[in-house]
Chain A
Amino acid sequence: MNPALMVFLFSSPLLNPILIVLFAVTFGVKIAAIYFAMSMGISIMAGIALEMLGFEKYIITPEEAADKGASCGTHTTSNKWKKMARGVERLQTSLSIALSGRVPGCYYSWVCAYRLYCSLYWSQQPIGHSVCCCHRRPPFIPVPLL
């Protein structure tokens, strides 16, 4: 891990320009300068110290986060509740498609015949069984029957 990461973590809330300027205006430039120097110096020292102590092992990597998200709820919720939740989700989805032509939370959505087409270009998220979803705006106007 780069010590710059930890230094940024510590110093970014303390050394934001709004805070520094308000400090200077309210309490005077001298106090603001000392505040700046103290928080900058201690942030740098703390960043180097944490890097030397090997704190990089306490950072949650994206892979770990994905594992956590995937396993979340699989062993805690029972099958019945999951089924019920999926039914509610599907009802919401079909209501939303019927009313607005869009899956909730999606920029564009198609029925699943176009899932392959969808996944070629954008991130897809299958909701229920029959709908896929593009979260981002496509770079061109999609042709529905490609």
Chain B
Amino acid sequence: MIPLAAAFVAKGMGIGAITAFVIGSAGASIPVLILLRSLFKTQMIVAFLLVVLSMAMATGFVFSTAF
């Protein structure tokens, strides 16, 4: 994930979008969701997805305003 992000940065992508990408891909990846499906019911998985994606967006906004 990080080498991909580094290549994006080298091509001129904003650091906020990069951070959102890293958080979203690390937190809400399909293997993680498949694993969580055996532990949690659908409502919990939806909540997990919401939390991770909003965390990605929030961190991305913070980075793009700060840098």
Contact = CB atoms under 8 A, between A and B. Distances in A.
Nearest to A38: B59
Contact of B23 (A22, A39, A46): A39
Interface residues of A, number: 24
**Interface size bucket, B side?**
20 to 34
Contacts, number: 78
B58 A55 contact: no
Nearest to A19: B26
B19 to A, nearest CB: 6
Chain B interface secondary structure, helix, strand, loop or mixed? helix
Interface of A: 9-10, 13-14, 16, 19, 22-23, 26-27, 31, 34-35, 38-39, 42-43, 46, 50, 55, 58-60, 65
Interface of B: 1-2, 5-6, 9, 15, 18-19, 22-23, 26-27, 29, 32, 36, 38-44, 47-48, 51-52, 54-55, 58-59, 62-63, 66-67
A134 B14 CA distance: 56
Contact of A55 (B15, B26, B43): B43
A56 B7 CA distance: 41
